[in-house]
Amino acid sequence: MADFFTFEQLHDFPALTPPARLAVIGDPIGHSKSPQMHNPALQACGIDAQYVRIQVPIGRVKEAFSLFVKQGFLGVNITIPHKFEALDAVDVVDPLARQLGAVNTLAIRDGKMFGYNTDGPGFLRSVKEAFGAEIRDLRVLVIGAGGGAGRAVAVQSVIAGCRDLVLANRTEAKLEPLVEELRKVASAQTRLQTCSLEHAGLMQHLPEVDLIVNATSVGMKSGDAALLPGGALESRHLVYDMVYRASGPTELIQQATVAGAKHADGMCLLLHQGAISFEHWFDRPAPLEAMRAGLLKA
């Protein structure tokens, strides 16, 4: 079987055994590890279905969703660059997805399309697993808060009652609309601050935060510039790099290791947001260990 199917194939989808009933869409999509996570889950639960990758071009998400309904799919995961387009392509948007500003999970029930966002809740679960901590007890720095992933982390952190939240972005002024939005849902006790991605700006806030989240794409390629200067991290810091790569730990994870700081990468988020998607599709607990084993094998 090919690494992925094309948008054109959705019009007359090939017959597979077991039948394709779930998918992940993106552009590109061949790199996605979601099938290696969800297919073991389906097998563990005895569900006669399989999960596939489908490459969908920008601007064709709504049409693709209609074809998924026509082809009898149960659900779809949505990744870059389609999460914002998906928000306007579903029939019903979950309130949390509306707050987070993106849809990354489609559930199809009786021909109707329901949109969810599992990135925010998956972030909370993965922080709990990786660090044994609740967001409400932490002071959080989000590097790259202006992007989709960073925005989801920021909004979810505020909803969860985060004490202090520092938002860092390449252009600090672009954070103003997000800050205004966060103020509407933040408690009176939550302190919101912003800074640039310049090392000097980040260094100013490192002494007063516990959890550092990289929500940028920096680290996906070997040789990417370091987000933080060497020696900036302390052993007390919790480091969450939303990037994951098969070639080895990112520069940020390496810095955390040298500092003796607890750390986690984006594979942890992929696992937990995937488990929540599974729960939306089948209204049952996800077989987390089967999904974890599939990812580790991949």
DSSP assignment string, 101-157: T---EEEEETTEEEEE--HHHHHHHHHHHHHS--GGG-EEEEETTTSHHHHHHHHHH
Task: Return the DSSP state at 164.
Answer: E
Active site residue 128: no
Burial class (CB in 10 A: 0-12, 13-18, 19+), 113: buried
Given the residues 70, 83, 184, 221, the one annotated as active site = 83
Distance in angstroms (rounded) separating the CA atoms of residues 110 and 100: 26
Distance in angstroms (rounded) separating the CA atoms of residues 211 and 203: 14
Alpha carbon separation from 297 to 7, 33, 216, 258 (Å, rounded): 28, 10, 26, 27
- Catalytic positions: 83
